[in-house]
Structures are given as structure tokens and as C-alpha cells.
Structure 1
Amino acid sequence: MKNIHKLSLHFDSKSLLHDFQNLLPDWEMHFNTQYYSGNWSGIPLRAAVDKNHTLSAGDESNTVFEDTEYLDKAPYLQEVLSHFKTPKQSVRLLRLTPGSEIKEHQDFGLGYFDGAVRLHVPILTNPKVEFCVEGENIPMTVGECWFANFNAPHSVANHGDTDRVHLVVDLEVNEWLQQLFEKEGIIDTEETPEERHNEEEQRQIIASLKEMGTDTSLKLAREMEEKISGA
């Protein structure tokens, strides 16, 4: 299964920007302050019910989500979401200002075989944004739609002079999404959930080894990565 993939979907950049501008005054700072430096803020378009933080993506399988009043102000974003014929979980606009950085971390439970995936649609960006998944920089442009396995280590740094704003959509895996991912070549139809979960466990071990930072642990991490990639 691919860890990173640009979907064939593409959305209108002017309409995305129009809805974004309608929501400009209503941004709130992200609550995970240990994850970033600088200014990382967002607007919840669909949020977990009964959570202390409206930007929370929800962390339980029985979390209930509902549309917010902000989505009512964004007709084109509603149209974008209508393309995904599967239950929506958290839907947010997330903004990273110039000079800000989201530190490397992992969002466990956001893998295809976990039953949920996360997609990114850039609304504003610049060439100096570095969005890295497992050390690979993803050059996203406005209007594109990207899938990544956010169980894997990932980070974002905005080294440019303008904001970076993405529509971030969490979706449940259903038959429609399965067919889309098969058509896009993201998943191998012969790969079993057991095989994928085994790989996820290995990636978690690799992340722990890298955090240790010793010569031995880093060597083991490289060897495990090479084995997974088939190098």
C-alpha cells in the first residue's frame, strides 16, 4: 500500500480561496501546543461532539461528529465534501503562518486498515512549505487532493512569506473509498489487514528507535526501513 498519493480529484482554486476569505476572522489556535512552534490555527467545519476542543479530530471509535456553523458559510467547501461518498469525521481548515513549524509526530488510527483516512486539499501554500512524511517532502499545490498515511512520522514547516492553509478531511473507510483507493492504485487488493498492521507496528518501532538517537538504534531503524521498502 502506498504511504503518499495524489488523487485524481482537483478542486477550483478561486472558489476555495473565496470560502477561506469568508472565514478569516474566526481562527482559533491549535490546542496541541507541544506539537508546534509559531502560529498553527484552525476552523472546525465538522467537529467531534462533546469535546473540549472543537479542533480535536476525535480519538475514539464511537466519536460522534456534526457540521458546525462555519460550514454553512462555505458553500464551495460543502461541494468539495460532497465528492466523498463516505461518512465524514473531522473536517477542518488548518493554517500555518510564515516561520511556523509542526514538529514531527504520528497520528495513530489514521491508516486505511484502521478504518479511517485523512486527505489534504491545499487552499494557500508557497514553494517554501516543507510537508514531510517519513522524511519525504510532498510538493502539494492549490486545489490538489492528497492522501498520506499519517500513522507514519510527519512534519510541516512554513519557510515562506505567506500562510499555508489546508482543508483537512478525515473519512471513514467504506466500499466507495475502497473502490476509489483501488482505482487510484493506493492499495494492493491482495494485501491483507494483518500484513498491513504488521508493517504499522514495525514503523512504530522505527519511530521509537529514531527517538533514542544512539548509533545502534539509528542503524537498526535504517535496516528496518530498508526491509520494509524492499531495498
Structure 2
Amino acid sequence: MATTLPAAVTTAQTGPGRAEVLGQVARLADLEESAVEQMRAEALAAPTRGVVAYGEYQSGGWWTTALMNHSDSGDPHDVVIGDGRPQPTSLLEEMPATARFLDSLGLNFMYVRLARLEPHSYLWEHRDYAELWETDRHRLHIPLVTNPSAVLITAGARVHMAAGSLWRLTPSQAHGVCNTTGPDRLHLIADVYADDTYQALAARPHLRDGDAVDLPEMTSAERAGLLERAGQLAELGFTEAAEQTLLRAFYTYALPEGGAYDLITELHEARRADADVSRWRAAKAHLLARP
């Protein structure tokens, strides 16, 4: 098995890593600029934006398209992730540079997709792989189009996955994503099984200065003010807006795990809205289920 990086990848410079987030997100390698440019051009020229899936995880605005999946028809709109040996979809067959790059990695893929996050869109705090915990797997991100407001939130920090690098995410840990101002964030995402080739690729995880920025703790006054604003929205009948106001606190403050969901529960307890309390307790349990 290969123990070195493929020709399309060069080792990145090691930076001063952050222990508190390094286990959850890290750069693995720098990519050749020409390879990224070719894949970016193919992704932007794709004839479909994809489909909106996993609606319970998002505010809307997150679109995915499969490049390798388990559909016998090769349908790129079949985006429900599962275990198995994937096949190229009809979309990947139209993206030769991307196909060559994926092949050059020599990895054991589980699923490969394009993921687009529109401006003013959020993936709420969640865990992935809860139903697939039995096999050692990892998630790789190749940012193709991004902007400074498109960030990952994990371990109380804000991380911008810059273009030009191959990144590893540990999605079984609680995390969320937002793109607050735009333009679109477009990533190539590959879920892979652990093997010797992956271990060689992932041998030098690191972060550079500025990759991760600590979020501030929420003060008691800020917490009270946030709940008051949400309560006012709910009293006016804008319940969903009230809930999303509290959900977005996850992207502003270093909350304890599930803290945004607890704020929503507290909001509805004060309103004596028992059905909403039960709904959000169930949502927290589902979205943050541990493998």
C-alpha cells in the first residue's frame, strides 16, 4: 500500500497546532494549486446544485450532490450516506480532473460528494456517524470555493477551512457550520475507511496561526438578553425565528455541548409550551447522539 502522498499533494508546513481542536479538525496536506483550480472549475460547471437532504440538521441552503455513492443507477441525487463500496455517479464521469485526483489518493472510499452552503445558512450543532460507529472511518474536506465567513464551529472555536489544503474532520464529535455572508461555500467531501494509505496521509495533522479562533464565553447578562429577545419573538408568533435566534448562539459563544438546544428548551418551558419542550429535547438527543 502507498505510504507517501500522491503527486497531486505536497506536504504542508507544520504550524503551531491547537490541542483543543486538533483532534477534531486539522490540515493534512497542501494541494497543488492547479489541481484545485481544475476541480473548482468542474464543480462550478456542474449541471445541478444537488438536493437538500438531512433537513433536520440545517436552516436550509445546504445542497449536496454525490460523486461516488451506492446507487445502481449512478444517480448523483442519491445523497444518503451509508457503508459499502461506492461507484462513480454520472456527475463524476463528467469531471475527469476530479476523478483523477480522487484516484491518485489511493484511498478506500465510503462516499464522495460536493456540498454547497449558501449565504445566511447554517448546519446546526450535530454529530455524524452515530448509526455507522462500528467501522473506523474519517472525513476529508477539500475546499474549492470559500470565504472568511464560512466557518466550522467545534470545541468552542471557530475554524475556517482555507482553500488549497486537504483537511480532516472528525464528524463523530459535535460540530456545526455556517456561512453568514457568502458567497457560496463549496467543498469536495470524501468519507473514507481507515487503512495504511489513509494513516500515511493523516500522519501530520496540524493547524496554522489563525486557523482556529476561540469563541467567547456567554455571560449571564448576554444569556438573559438573548432569552428575552427570543421570548419577544415567540410572543409575537415568530416561534421559528425565536428558535433560530437561540440556535445561532452556538456560532457566537463557546457553549457547552447542546447548550443552544437547552436555551430553546428553557424558552419553551417559560412559555409553558410542553409540546415544544418535548420536541427540542428529542431533537437534541437525535442530533447529538453519540456513536
Structure 2 length-normalised TM: 0.58
Contact 1:40–1:96 under 8 Å retained in 2: yes
Map Cα deviations across residues 23-61 of structure 1 (whole Å, 9 max, x no partner). Answer: 0x3122222111111311121100123699611121xx4
Instruction: Quote the offset at 1:176 in angstroms.
Output: 1.5
Q: State the match for 2:144 in structure 1.
A: 123
CA distance in 2, matches of 1:89, 1:179: 18
Instruction: Quote the offset at 1:111 in angstroms.
Output: 9.7
Q: State the match for 1:74 in structure 2.
A: 95
Which of 148, 153, 157 matches 1:132? 153
Contact 1:71–1:77 under 8 Å retained in 2: yes
Map Cα deviations across residues 138-172 of structure 1 (whole Å, 9 max, x no partner). Answer: 22122211101110111111112310000000111
Q: State the match for 2:283 in structure 1.
A: none
Give the 3-state SS of the residue equivalent to 1:19 in structure 2. Answer: helix
Contact 2:52–2:63 under 8 Å retained in 1: yes
Contact 1:19–1:74 under 8 Å retained in 2: yes
How many residue pairs get aligned? The number is 191
Give the 3-state SS of the residue equivalent to 1:95 in structure 2. Answer: strand
CA distance in 2, matches of 1:84, 1:112: 24
Give the 3-state SS of the residue equivalent to 1:150 in structure 2. Answer: coil
Instruction: Quote the offset at 1:122 in angstroms.
Output: 0.5
Instruction: Quote the offset at 1:207 in angstroms.
Output: 4.2
The letter for the 1-side match of 2:162 is T
Unmatched runs of 5 consecutive residues or more in structure 2:
1-21, 207-255, 266-291
Which of 45, 51, 57 matches 1:29? 51
CA distance in 2, matches of 1:157, 1:142: 16
Percent of aligned pairs with the same amino acid: 24
Q: Does 1:184 align with 2:204?
A: yes
Q: Does 1:174 align with 2:165?
A: no
Q: State the match for 2:37 in structure 1.
A: 14
Give the 3-state SS of the residue equivalent to 1:46 in structure 2. Answer: strand
Map Cα deviations across residues 84-138 of structure 1 (whole Å, 9 max, x no partner). Answer: 2221111000001111111111003599994110000101111111211233222
CA distance in 1, matches of 2:98, 2:258: 38
CA distance in 1, matches of 2:37, 2:258: 42
Evaluate the alpha carbon distance shift between residue 175 and residue 38 of structure 1 in structure 2; reply closer, same or farther with a 3 A threshold: same
Give the 3-state SS of the residue equivalent to 2:29 in structure 1. Answer: strand
Give me the CA root mean square deviation. Answer: 3.0
The letter for the 2-side match of 1:123 is L
Evaluate the alpha carbon distance shift between residue 123 and residue 71 of structure 1 in structure 2; reply closer, same or farther with a 3 A threshold: same
Structure 1 length-normalised TM: 0.72
Q: State the match for 1:144 in structure 2.
A: 165
Map Cα deviations across residues 46-85 of structure 1 (whole Å, 9 max, x no partner). Answer: 0123699611121xx4x34211010011112112212322
Contact 2:140–2:169 under 8 Å retained in 1: yes
Evaluate the alpha carbon distance shift between residue 139 and residue 175 of structure 1 in structure 2; reply closer, same or farther with a 3 A threshold: same
Which of 46, 71, 76 matches 1:49? 71
Q: State the match for 2:216 in structure 1.
A: none
The letter for the 2-side match of 1:29 is V
Q: State the match for 1:198 in structure 2.
A: none
Structure in which a larger fraction of residues adopt strand? 1
Instruction: Quote the offset at 1:10 in angstroms.
Output: 1.1
Evaluate the alpha carbon distance shift between residue 86 and residue 113 of structure 1 in structure 2; reply closer, same or farther with a 3 A threshold: farther
Which of 92, 98, 121 matches 2:119? 98
* Bigger Cα Rg: 2
CA distance in 1, matches of 2:200, 2:180: 37
